[in-house]
Each structure stands twice: as structure tokens, then as C-alpha cells.
């Protein structure tokens, strides 16, 4: 069990009672209860009683949680803990998750793996939805800005003064028979940048 300090209405008794009722119904003998009163952002590895429980667990044991999110602070944390426990031969029963609340089915390794995979898939799906929402909000903002007549995109980069000075020399022949490629290299710019600057100067001069 994990009780968040920022949710004062949460009660350890409620979670314990749910687990007791499940255990009685399924013929389990409860060896011990483990609970941490922590902040919601605390990782599982930093929870004292959770680590105490893991140190006592042995292959063949079963961990029962009232809610799967009791196993970690977020989806990543939950997945890591489930995989870690399963790798040690420990069954994880989460009473709020279909299939995970059937301890007999949780003896099936392939089913357990499938459930973890579902978590990963759901997490990826939710993350993708969030990205799409952000993209939609950005596009809405851009469209609104366009309607208001705001100029969008990167600001036009001016031509560096040093380039103008050296380009004038280049044009007047002070660089002799130097090619554009050689001149651009000497200025530390690409040939494409050279022509970009030249075109900007022409536009400015027209």
C-alpha cells in the first residue's frame, strides 16, 4: 500500500480492508501488510516499507495491491516494479485491473508478460495522444496569430557587416582570381550561405 501525503482523504484501512476481503474469498493467508506514507512523486525504490517488503519476498510469494498505481509513482515505475517482482518468481495481484485481480491466472507467465506489455502499449498510446494534443494546440495558436496578422516563422537573418565589407573587396577584385568557393571557405561559410547573403544584398539594393 502507498498513501500519498497530498491526499489526506486516503486511508490505509480502506486498502487493507479491500485486500483482506479478497484474501478471505480466495483462501489466502496474509503474512504482513506494508505501507508507506509518502509524497506522490516518490519513486518505489525510495520507499522504505516497500523495499522492506521486497527484501522479505521469496519465489512463489504473492503481492496483493488494492490499486496497481500503488506499485509506483507513474507508469514507468509500475512497469519496472512488476517486471522486477515477476523476474524473482513473485506473483503480483492488482485488484483494480482485470486479469491481474485473478491470482490463479497470474501464475501464467505468458499472461503476466502480456499484461506488462499492455501497460507499455497504453503508456505509449497516451503519450502519443498528448503529443497530438500539444500539436493541435500549437497549430490553433499559429492559426489565431495568422488571423491577427502576426508574422510567423524565423526572423530573416541579416547579412553580417564583416561579410559585406569583404564581399565588396571581392567584387572590386582585391581578392584577385579567387573563386566563390575559396572566398566562402575563407569567410567560414558555406557556398549556399554566400549566395544567400548576395541575394539579400541584391534585394536590399533594389
Domain boundaries, the chain: 2-122, 161-205
Per-residue pLDDT at 112 = 66
Q: Is the pLDDT of residue 105 over 70?
A: no
The helix (run of H) or strand (run of E) holding residue 91 is strand 91-94
Catalytic residues: 4
Q: Is the pLDDT of residue 19 over 70?
A: yes
Indicate the fold that domain 2-122 takes in CATH.
Rossmann fold (3.40.50)
Distance from the first to the final alpha carbon of the chain: 75
In contact, 162 and 173? CB cutoff 8 Å: no
Who wins on pLDDT, 45 or 10?
45
In contact, 40 and 54? CB cutoff 8 Å: no
> Per-residue b/e over 180-197, b at no fewer than 16 CB within 10 Å?
eeebbeebeeeeeebeeb
Residues 101-126 have a mean pLDDT of: 65
Amino acid at each position: 500500500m502507498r498513501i500519498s501525503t497530498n491526499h489526506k482523504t486516503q486511508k490505509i484501512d480502506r486498502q487493507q480492508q479491500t485486500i483482506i476481503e479478497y484474501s478471505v474469498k480466495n483462501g489466502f493467508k496474509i503474512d504482513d501488510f506494508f505501507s508507506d506514507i509518502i509524497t506522490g512523486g516518490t519513486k518505489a525504490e525510495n520507499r522504505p516499507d516497500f523495499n522492506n517488503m521486497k527484501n522479505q519476498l521469496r519465489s512463489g510469494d504473492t503481492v496483493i495491491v488494492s490499486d496497481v498505481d500503488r506499485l509506483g509513482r507513474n507508469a514507468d515505475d509500475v512497469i519496472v516494479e512488476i517486471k522486477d517482482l515477476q523476474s524473482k518468481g513473485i506473483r503480483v495481484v492488482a485488484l483494480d485491473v482485470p486479469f491481474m485481480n485473478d491470482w490463479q491466472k497470474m501464475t501464467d507467465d505468458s499472461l503476466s508478460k502480456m499484461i506488462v506489455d499492455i501497460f507499455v502499449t497504453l503508456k505509449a498510446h497516451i503519450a502519443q495522444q498528448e503529443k497530438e494534443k500539444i500539436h493541435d494546440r500549437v497549430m490553433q495558436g499559429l492559426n489565431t496569430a495568422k488571423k491577427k496578422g502576426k508574422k510567423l516563422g524565423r526572423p530573416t537573418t541579416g547579412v553580417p557587416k564583416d561579410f559585406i565589407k569583404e564581399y565588396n573587396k571581392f567584387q572590386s577584385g582585391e581578392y584577385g582570381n579567387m573563386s566563390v568557393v575559396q572566398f566562402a571557405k575563407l569567410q567560414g561559410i558555406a557556398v549556399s550561405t554566400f549566395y544567400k547573403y548576395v541575394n539579400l544584398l541584391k534585394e536590399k539594393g533594389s
